[in-house]
Structure 1
Amino acid sequence: ASSSFDAQLEELDKAADYFIYCRSGNRAGQAIDRMIDAGFTGELVNGGSVANASSILGLEVVTD
């Protein structure tokens, strides 16, 4: 799984800003650390959990 993540990072703009979140917030922090290690220079915001991210962004969480 980590090599898949690293491969997908290579396809992203390293100078862009990203808002990272996950179900619990733990993996978001790990992802940001990996992005920094991979040379990302834009702003990387840890939104934490999905619920926290939705609150920060002012968006409703929708599941189906």
Structure 2
Amino acid sequence: MLTLALGVSGCAGSPASIELSADTVIVDVRTPAEYATGHLDGAVNIDLQSPTFDDVVADLDSDTDYVVYCQSGNRSAQAVSVMEDADLAVQDAGGIDEAAKATGLPVVP
């Protein structure tokens, strides 16, 4: 039920606060060009629109927690669905502005 609630809130905005551990991986699922215009500090770019997205997700560490965001929240919700299907612990942070507020991480160039 919690996952459903977070998924729904990702559509309307991210959770108010997301706790990050030292091991949490922040994933930006926008295109590399979008990522280059500004991303959350420390985020890795895994482009949802890339034909290799599913393969990259399959290779991710299942013992790691992931927080995913995009531009508006649409692609992050899609990515979270794929990542959950791969049995990864993942949270949808919505769009970049909501993700920055929820995580406390700055947007950097």
Which structure has the highest helix share of the two? 1
Aligned to 2:26: none
Give 1:5's aligned residue.
Answer: 53
Residue of structure 2 aligned with 1:27, choices 52, 75, 96: 75
Question: Residue 58 of structure 1 aligns with which residue?
Answer: 104
Consecutive unaligned residues of structure 2, counting only runs of 5 or more, are: 1-48
The verdict on how the C-alpha distance between 1:3 and 1:14 changes in structure 2, with shifts beyond 3 A counting, is: farther
Q: What SS class does the counterpart of residue 30 from structure 1 fall into?
A: helix
* Alignment RMSD: 1.5
Cα offset, 1:11, TM superposition: 1.9
Q: CA deviation at 1:60?
A: 2.0
Among all aligned residue pairs of Structure 1 and Structure 2, give the percentage whose two residues are the same amino acid: 39
The AA in structure 2 aligned to 1:8 is V
Report whether the alignment pairs 1:36 with 2:84.
yes
Give 1:52's aligned amino acid: E
Paired amino acid for 2:98: N
Supply the distance in 2 between the matched residues of 1:17 and 1:27 (Cα, whole angstroms).
19
1:2 to partner: Cα distance:
5.3
Shift, 1:3, TM fit: 3.7
Detail structure 1 runs of 4+ shifted over 6 Å in the superposition.
none
Structure 1 stretch displaced more, 26-35 or 1-10: 1-10
Q: Give me the TM-score of the superposition, normalised by structure 2.
A: 0.50
State the number of aligned residues.
61
